[in-house]
């Protein structure tokens, strides 16, 4: 029957221990004397003991009530030791943060995040892993991954996501035979072979494919790589084309 005890029951018993008087206990707990009496009646039913019996000056604890008093006091002390939200600050936080990210987001976001954490939350350790796609939902639900940084096209349904910034894409190539003035029509662009970045899971579809489909065009993808870094290396050595995401403050450099 112990499991039926509630916190208010323990506080009522604690007040009766302190004052040995129903009126004084009621005043201490800011309730009526009738409420204390009803609480005591309920607790007696749960524990199967009178707990407190009346005397000429108030109430006195039964032998069983005296036996359980240290336990009740310990529970209430532990309850009062539960930290409140405002006591949790970055400075006294100690935990391990597992971040799954593409090489691109590792470069432009994770590095700055680690630098800031070293100052504001020195007790936080960081594990950075390559982007996970196939079992991302399962691993996040199990707590194996705390945070994922990736493009919106790679976020599985069922996860809560928030946009950090809007990317712009730059089409790059080392193919000097691609000549145009100010604008290369998309119809001419899709005639070339593409390198796409497909992090986390091997695929010939990249984050820009849905955009091409909206333009009623499809591109010829010949190489799929897991990272933007390697895509850049392969573009340097071939005549293929590819897209790179750039942030507003990023510098555009030739491949």
Q: With 50 as the cut, is the pLDDT of residue 180 above it? A: yes
- Give me the pLDDT at residue 253, please: 38
- Give me the pLDDT at residue 242, please: 92
Q: With 70 as the cut, is the pLDDT of residue 146 above it? A: yes
**Could you tell me the pLDDT band of residue 103, with boundaries at 50, 70 and 90?**
confident
Q: Is 242 helix (H, G, I), strand (E, B) or coil?
A: strand
Instruction: In whole angstroms, give the CA distance from residue 172 to residue 184.
Output: 12
- Give me the pLDDT at residue 221, please: 93
Q: Is 7 helix (H, G, I), strand (E, B) or coil?
A: helix
- Give me the pLDDT at residue 162, please: 87
- Of residues 164 and 75, more confidence is placed in 75
The residue-averaged pLDDT of 171-190 equals: 88
Vertex 116 angle, CA 114 and 118, to 5°: 70
Instruction: In whole angstroms, give the CA distance from residue 211 to residue 232.
Output: 21
The answer to whether residues 13 and 25 touch, using CB atoms and an 8 Å cutoff, is no
Q: What is the DSSP string of 144-211?
A: S-SEEE--GGGPPTTS--------EEEEEE--TT---SS---HHHHTTSEEEEE--SS--S--TTHHH
**H helix or E strand, kind and range, residue 139:** helix 136-141
The residue-averaged pLDDT of 33-60 equals: 94
Integer-rounded Cα radius of gyration of the chain:
33
Q: Which domains does the chain have, with CATH numbers?
A: 2-82 (1.10.10.10), 90-154 (3.40.190.10), 168-246 (3.40.190.10)
**CA 85 from chain center: how many Å?**
16
Backbone angles phi, psi at 11, to 5 degrees: -70, -35
Instruction: In whole angstroms, give the CA distance from residue 93 to residue 226.
Output: 34
pTM above 0.95, yes or no: no
Beta-carbon contacts of 185 under 8 Å, excluding residues fewer than 6 positions away, are: none
């Amino acid at each position: 029957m112990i499991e039926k005890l509630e916190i208010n029951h323990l506080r009522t018993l604690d007040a009766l221990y302190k004052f040995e008087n129903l009126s004084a206990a009621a005043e201490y707990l800011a309730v009526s004397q009738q409420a204390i009496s009803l609480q005591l009646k309920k607790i007696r039913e749960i524990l199967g003991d009178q707990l407190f019996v009346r005397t000429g000056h108030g109430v006195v604890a039964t032998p069983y009530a005296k036996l359980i008093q240290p336990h009740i006091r310990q529970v209430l002390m532990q309850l009062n030791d539960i930290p409140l939200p405002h006591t949790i600050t970055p400075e006294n936080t100690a935990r391990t943060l597992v971040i799954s990210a593409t090489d691109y987001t590792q470069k432009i976001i994770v590095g700055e995040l680690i630098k800031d954490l070293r100052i504001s939350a020195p007790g936080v350790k960081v594990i950075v892993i390559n982007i996970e796609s196939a079992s991302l939902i399962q691993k996040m639900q199990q707590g194996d991954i705390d945070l994922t940084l990736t493009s919106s096209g790679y976020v599985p349904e069922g996860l809560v996501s928030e946009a950090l910034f809007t990317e712009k894409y730059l089409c790059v190539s080392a193919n000097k035979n691609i000549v145009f003035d100010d604008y290369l029509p998309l119809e001419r662009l899709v005639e070339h072979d593409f390198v796409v970045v497909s992090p986390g899971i091997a695929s010939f579809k990249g984050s820009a494919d849905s955009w091409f489909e909206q333009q009623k065009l499809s591109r010829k993808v010949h190489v799929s790589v897991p990272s933007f870094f390697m895509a850049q290396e392969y573009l340097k050595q071939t005549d293929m084309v590819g897209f790179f995401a750039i942030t507003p403050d990023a510098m555009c450099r030739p491949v």
